[in-house]
Each structure stands twice: as C-alpha cells, then as structure tokens.
Amino acid sequence: MRVHGFVRVAVTLCALNARARADDPLPSWNERASKSAITSFVAKVTEEGSAYFVRPADRVAVFDNDGTLWCEQPMYFQFLFALDRVKALAPRHPEWKDEEPFKSVLAGDPKSLAAGGEKAAAELIAATHAGMTTDEFNAAVKEWLRTARHAKYNRPYNRCVYQPMLELLAYLRANGFKTYVVSGGGVEFMRAFAEEAYGIPPEQVIGSAGVTRFEERDGGPVLVKDPKVLHVDDGPGKPAGINLFIGRRPVMAFGNSDGDLQMLQWTAAGPGPRFALLVHHTDADREYAYDRQSHVGKLDKALDEAARRGWTVVDMKKDWKRVFPET
Amino acid sequence: MRVHGFVRVAVTLCALNARARADDPLPSWNERASKSAITSFVAKVTEEGSAYFVRPADRVAVFDNDGTLWCEQPMYFQFLFALDRVKALAPRHPEWKDEEPFKSVLAGDPKSLAAGGEKAAAELIAATHAGMTTDEFNAAVKEWLRTARHAKYNRPYNRCVYQPMLELLAYLRANGFKTYVVSGGGVEFMRAFAEEAYGIPPEQVIGSAGVTRFEERDGGPVLVKDPKVLHVDDGPGKPAGINLFIGRRPVMAFGNSDGDLQMLQWTAAGPGPRFALLVHHTDADREYAYDRQSHVGKLDKALDEAARRGWTVVDMKKDWKRVFPET
C-alpha cells in the first residue's frame, strides 16, 4: 500500500507538473523573479474586485521594438535594409558610385561610411525611404525580409524575434491587454512585418514617421513619402508619440535602452498599478552582451533608473530558456 | 372564417412590422436610397463566402466630425471653445484687454475679430490650446462641455450630435467595423468627448495635432502642449493622417465638406468594395442649410465628385427622421 500510495502520489505530481507546463503561458521564461513579477502583476490587475483592477479598455501595454522584441545587433535592422536598398537601387542611380555616402555603401566600406556620421545616415534613409509611394515602400520592405538573412543567425530578420517576448505578447493579449509597438524605428517599416511577426496590427504600431503627400495620379490617388521628418519616436518622443497615437497612458511598458527611459517613466508615473521592464542583453553566446558603452541600444541611465524605481530588469542569459523561435 | 383569417393576417402583419421596427438598426433614417445603400453595402461585405466579403480586421470606417457627426454651425465648436476660453483666462492676462485678437473677443466684437482673419484665429488657438499640460487641457475641454450651451439648441455641444449618425456608428460596430473619427479638429479636443458621445475610444480619434514636449516636474513627468503645429488633418492631410495613425485604407468613409474630399477619394480608390458618403446639410428648420457658398463646411467640389463617382449623398431634410437625440 505504501508503495502503491507513493506511486499514486508520484503519478499525480507528474500529471500536475505536466499540466502546469502545458498551462504555462510563458514556457520560454525560467522560473525566476522577472517571470513572477510579470505574472503576479497581470493577475493583480485582471482580478475583478481587486483594489488593483484595471478595466479592459485601459489595459494598454507598449513595447519598444529594436532590442526588445527583435535583435538590434550588429546594427539596427532598418539601417541594414537601407544599405541593401542602396545596392538594389544603384543601377537606377549611376551617380551614386562617385557620391558619398552611397559610394562607401556600394564599395562595402563601413569605415568611410561611419566617418559620414549622422548626416550620412540621414541621407541614406532619405534616399531609400522617400520619393516613392507608401505601397511601393511596403513592397520593398517585404521583399527584403523575404530575401535578406541575418549574418550571425542565417535567418530572415523577422525571425530574429525573441521567443519569450512573443509569448509575453500573447499572454498579455489573452489577459485583455492591447499590445502596441512604440519604437524609434520607422512606422511604415515596422508595419510591413509587425502583424505577422508579433500579431500586432498596423494601427497599433507607433514609430518615427516622415511626411506623406497626397497626389492624384493616372492610376488613382497615392501617398508619396517625402524626405521630411514628422515625428522622431525616441526618448522623450516616445511619450509624445503615445499621447498622439493612443491618447491614454499605458499600464505596462517594455524597453531595453536609454531611448525607452521616458516611455517607462511616463508609464510608471500614472496613478494605480503600473509595470515597467527592461531587457538587459547579457547573453554573448546566444545573442549579444551590451549595455552602458554600446553604440546601438545603449543602456545606461535607464538601468540606473530601474534600480532606483524597482523596475523589472530581465537578465537575458538567466531569465530566458531560449532566445529565438525554432527556425 | 374569412374575417377571422383577415384579423389573423392583420395581426401577423402588425407583429412583423413591429418586429421590423424593433430590429431596424437605423430607426432615425427614412426608408430611402441613402439608408438602403448603407445597409446593402454592409450586408454585402459581411456575408461570408460573398465575392465582396471583407475580413473583420480590414473593416475600417472613418468619419469626419464637424458637420458629419456633430453640428458645425454657426461656427466650428472648437473655435467657440477658444473664444470662451479667452474669457475664462482673461483675469490671468490683464494685457489682453488692449491686445488683438483678445481685445475683440473680450469686447464681444465678432466683426473686428473676423477682420483679423486666419492670423487672429491661429493666435487664439495658440493662446488657448498650448502652454499647458495635456491633462490640464483635457480638464478645460470637459469643463466647457459641462457648462457651455449651443445658442440655437440650448443644449451642451456634445449633445448636438446627429442621432442618425450615432445609430450608424453602432450599426457598423455591430457588423465588425472599427469606427474612427478623422477630423480637422484638434485630436485632444475631440478625445475629451468622443468616447462618451460616439463610443469611439481615444486611440480611434485622429485629428489635427500640435507638438507636445516631455518635461520632468516635481509631481512627475508631464506632456506640455507647444504652440507648434505637427499635423493638419484636413483635405489632403486626411489620407496622410489615416496612413500615419491607422496604416491601412478604410473600407467606408463619411464626410460632409470639401475638407473630406481626399479622404473619400483615398477610401474609394482602394481595391474591392468601398463606400463613400456625404452628409448634405439641407435642413434650415431643424438644423442648417448650406453647401457651395458656406464659410464653414463648404461643400462644392466634393458634391460634384460625389455625382461623378456615384457616392451616396444624404439629404438631411428628407433622409433623416430626426436630427438630434432627445435632450
């Protein structure tokens, strides 16, 4: 009987354990403080009658994109798109082979390119992101995602998304949250893949934006992308973008760099329960390790602020069982 | 038996008629072409398997506000708010009694005010819509709506909304449409009442917008409204605004003036079934009658385009059983 009883208990425990795993909405998160901070917050704000209850209409969660939902190394993917786009457009621009910054891009000379600084970057973005219709740009991004591969992972860039964050997005939506991307990246660049990659529809993607111009053409009206910047959705531009596009303060905010600091501050400063989280890139093997000194995704002031305010900081190496989805 | 049969038929017909009325999602619309154009379009795009079926995610309907969802006479309500706001703020601005355009506003002299033209209007908007936090502005609009009354109707401005359009919004939402306001009015002005008046949440209100500035204050971070214009959501700015905020082309568009022309063109030019409608203000008794010559809500080019394209034109006097909700 004792043996029988032990077996029965063991079987029951195994079954419970399997059920717990099957029921676990965040299977790629290790059982550590970050995970329980998330799940206990969500439990608290979704429990009707609780003092912390947040009505469904107010359940807004905002996510930075580069370095938070997808990888941003060795360089912001949108910049890699711009470089590839220069190469693709070069046959139509014979003058580029003698003109900087295009010359350096075409010659594959990152050093001279870097010497051009922000001015060069702005020229590249203008040449590759403007002077075409919104439909043409969308098609160009989709074609690039279909064909280009990340050098380290040899997979399409839109598969270099973080599996634990995909689970988190789905988990929040299952709990009545409306999930938004709020990123310094270009809004039209991100909308070309956000719905498929993250389950986030275009109207919930907020980003940097240029001016578009309505034009009547033979085939009907079009919107043409002008090289003029309308909104820079980075740093203090993030709360401004949230206010402009959403018009209400988020309850949860997720970022990974100093560019997300004001978004997290703005979110955390609201009345009632608020949640702020930073992804700390600590995993040089499976991904990249960088923070205070990085040129891409610098995390310095926000890391200090997180310590001061008690925000959740994800240690990618320790907190995540896996980084990317299967292939 | 014949009499009995007749009575039975009559009773049955009455019951069917009552049921039809009870089931009618648009009871304030007369049974005319405008109403049937709307209902037959909606039936067509929501019927699974139909060649015209539109998947729920793409069911986007955009509505102009001034003159389409609420009255815009004798003047845009937001401008009346600005005038009242000057009066409310005057004690803090003693210099205004000698400075135009404030002097004319405070003296109740619409003629000199009008002489100031667009420059005067821009100064009034800047003085009453900037230099405060977004929360302070929201509170000011709500207080005005609570206390101010429309001169002709003696009711709060947010009750000068069109009952037939409220029914239309609810009907479209019941059929899986996401309803948006897309207006030349200020986005933050409209968000202060759109949820309560129209059932449209802030994130589905698109409008003209100024720059906001993130600022850290003692009580925590705030967004301060700057007097700088970011986006003018009127005329060609409407399709640009739709592209910026929603990122997909609407299936249905509703307007009432030339400021809506490009929004209707952009919507109607999409592939697949599209619907465009203009509200024509033809009812001088119950509301106002105006079109090609009006300074507010001028309807001229768009009326010609509607005839050319076969868009639906609502004749307010004939198509609407009633104009406003009970009190």
* Separation of first and last alpha carbons in chain B: 49
Question: Is residue A2's pLDDT more than 50?
Answer: yes
Flag if B223 and A231 touch (Cβ within 8 Å).
Answer: no
Task: Write out pLDDT tens, residues A219-257.
Answer: 899 999 999 999 999 999 999 999 999 999 999 999 999
Higher pLDDT, A22 or B233: B233
Which among B178, B191, B247 has CB closest to A205?
Answer: B247
Residues in chain B closer than 8 A to A220 (CB atoms): 269
Structure tokens belonging to residue A213: 């111009």
SS3 of B196, please?
Answer: helix
Flag if B246 and A134 touch (Cβ within 8 Å).
Answer: no
Question: Is residue B294's pLDDT more than 70?
Answer: yes
Residues 6+ apart with CB under 8 A from A311: A264, A268, A276, A277, A278, A305
Residues in chain A closer than 8 A to B216 (CB atoms): 265
What sign does the CA torsion over A209, A210, A216, A219 have?
Answer: negative
Q: DSSP for B69-134?
A: TB---SS-HHHHHHHHHHHHHGGG-GGGGGSTTHHHHHTT-HHHHHHTHHHHHHHHHHHHHSSSBH
Instruction: Looking at the complex, report in whole angstroms how far the Cα of residue A186 sits from the nearest Cα belonging to chain B.
Output: 11
Residue tagged 């923070």 (tokens): A291
Task: Write out pLDDT tens, residues A85-113.
Answer: 999 999 999 999 999 999 999 999 888 88
Burial of A172 (0-12, 13-18, 19+ CB in 10 A): buried
Q: How many residues does chain A have?
A: 327
Q: How far apart are CA B300 and CA B279, in angstroms?
A: 12
Instruction: Looking at the complex, report in whole angstroms how far the Cα of residue A35 sits from the nearest Cα belonging to chain B.
Output: 28
The percent of residues in chain A predicted with pLDDT above 70, rounded, is 93
The pLDDT score that the predictor gives to residue A122 is 86
Please state whether beta strands B252-255 and B60-63 pair in parallel, antiparallel, or not at all (unpaired).
parallel
What value does the mean pLDDT take over residues A136-140?
97
Instruction: Looking at the complex, report in whole angstroms how far the Cα of residue B143 sits from the nearest Cα belonging to chain A.
Output: 19
The pLDDT score that the predictor gives to residue B1 is 45
SS3 of B309, please?
Answer: helix
Q: How confident is the model at residue B14 (pLDDT cuts 50, 70, 90)?
A: low
pTM of the model: 0.92
* Separation of first and last alpha carbons in chain A: 49
What value does the mean pLDDT take over residues B68-97?
96
Structure tokens belonging to residue A95: 């003058």
Which among B205, B213, B247 has CB closest to A202?
Answer: B247
Does B189 lie at the interface with A, CB-CB under 8 angstroms? Answer: no
Residues 6+ apart with CB under 8 A from B48: none
Task: Write out pLDDT tens, residues B208-248.
Answer: 999 999 999 998 999 999 999 999 999 999 999 999 999 99
Flag if A240 and B213 touch (Cβ within 8 Å).
Answer: yes
Instruction: Looking at the complex, report in whole angstroms how far the Cα of residue B167 sits from the nearest Cα belonging to chain A.
Output: 22
Please state whether beta strands B178-186 and B60-63 pair in parallel, antiparallel, or not at all (unpaired).
parallel
The pLDDT score that the predictor gives to residue A1 is 44
Q: How many residues does chain B have?
A: 327
Which among A212, A216, A245 has CB closest to B243?
Answer: A212
Q: How confident is the model at residue A20 (pLDDT cuts 50, 70, 90)?
A: low
